[in-house]
Amino acid sequence: MNNTSVFKRTLLSSAILLASFQVSASDAPGMIEALSDFSINDTSFMQKTGFEVGLWASGGVTGNSNGNTNAPVLFNDRVNEFNLNQLNFYIERAVDTDGDSWDIGGRMDFMYGTDARFTQASGWDSNWNDNDGYYDIAMPQLYVEVFAPIGNGITAKLGHFYTTIGNEVVTSPDNFFYSHAYTMLYAEPFTHTGALFSYDINDNFSINGGAVMGWDNMTENAGAWSFLGGGSWTSDSEASSVTVQLISGNQSDTESGNTTMYSIVATHDITDNFHYLLQHDFGTQKYSNGESDNWFGINQYFTYDINSKLSVGLRAEWFNDKGNARVSNTGANYLAASVGLNYSPLSWFKLRPEIRYDWADEDVFNSGVDNDQIAIAMDMIVTF
């Protein structure tokens, strides 16, 4: 297999497993390595075993026009105070998917901060802490990964892992904006528990599929299995890609009622520095009484790399939840636009200032008083 094929297969696998177009901050030297020239991952033990450890911290401040709460925009819903959003530690052994032999790896993530309360799984880390505070703990990933040299290679992920659906992700270093889109917050799952298999058909196409226990669940409703899977395409020039992911199944093992949703993410590099992403989500939820609700969203992202340290981005979103299945007790259409910067003066330090405007056709902001709000926010990300 030539180097181009290996590189393109790596891109395909990353796209279908992460569905994200951002580069992880772990690719750059962390603070400890940058300041001391020492990296624990470069020691002989870590190199021989193939393990890698990492740590990042992210925190920021949000202020908005109502001065009360930024909800229903979550993760940075607290205003006028500093929030340590994530202190995330991980240990990982990535599987070798380029060889002709079996390989085994895995990953564990442990998170503390205000974001942890949103990414807990039922019957798992949701039971660890009974306090009602804004700071909590979570273990959003704990899985084993196996590579089988069958055909072009099958990779199996077994355990608890982040979803493959959508574009934005929980992990701060892997998003352009500090705030999140409604589709990520309400239309999609955060994590799954089960088994997921992926296979590269050729240099352009990849597929995946498996069985998971619904959305954000570990042990509750253990008999309610859902299908999770889809496919990905990358152009020969690697400037364009399309990823489609779908999940369908019952959310309860005692009551009937199917939940199905899909997400389509398309990316295109207009130039080497100018990037475009289009996302469309659609979901439907059927209840035991025969009734159902639908929701859908359309997101667009434009990002431009001014230089190696500074990028500017625009996100525009329409999210429809008129059936009030996902967001609040009041069904509404939501429109949101964000303008932000990514500034990385150091390899281990990033600032993400952002201005965001939200509007809805119902009074859903400021605890149900207003139909719009303006927010100004900024966070910082430090990788160690």
The domains of the chain are located at 3-383
Give the span between the Cα atoms of 188 and 180, in whole angstroms: 12
Considering only CA atoms, which of 53, 107, 117, 108 is closest in space to residue 85? 117
* pLDDT value at 9 more than 90: no
Once rounded to an integer, what is the mean pLDDT over residues 121-134? 82
Model confidence band, residue 363 (pLDDT cutoffs 50, 70, 90) = very high
HSE (side-chain half, CA atoms, 13 Å) at 241: 27
What is the per-residue pLDDT for 144?
98
What is the pTM for the complete model shown?
Answer: 0.91
What is the per-residue pLDDT for 131?
65
Once rounded to an integer, what is the mean pLDDT over residues 93-122? 95
Mind listing the pLDDT tens digit for each residue in 144-200? 999 999 999 999 999 999 999 999 999 999 999 999 999 999 999 999 999 999 999
Cβ atoms within 10 A of the Cβ of 212, count? 25
Give the span between the Cα atoms of 198 and 225, in whole angstroms: 19
Mind listing the pLDDT tens digit for each residue in 40-93? 999 999 999 999 999 999 999 999 999 999 999 999 999 999 999 999 999 999
Model confidence band, residue 336 (pLDDT cutoffs 50, 70, 90) = very high
Peptide bond connecting 72 to the previous residue in cis, omega within 30 degrees of 0: yes
**Residue type at 285?**
Q
In degrees rounded to 5, what are phi and psi of residue 125?
-70, -15
CATH, domain 3-383, list 3.90.1530.10, 2.70.98.60, 3.40.50.720, 2.40.160.10: 2.40.160.10
* pLDDT value at 246 more than 50: yes
What is the per-residue pLDDT for 5?
46
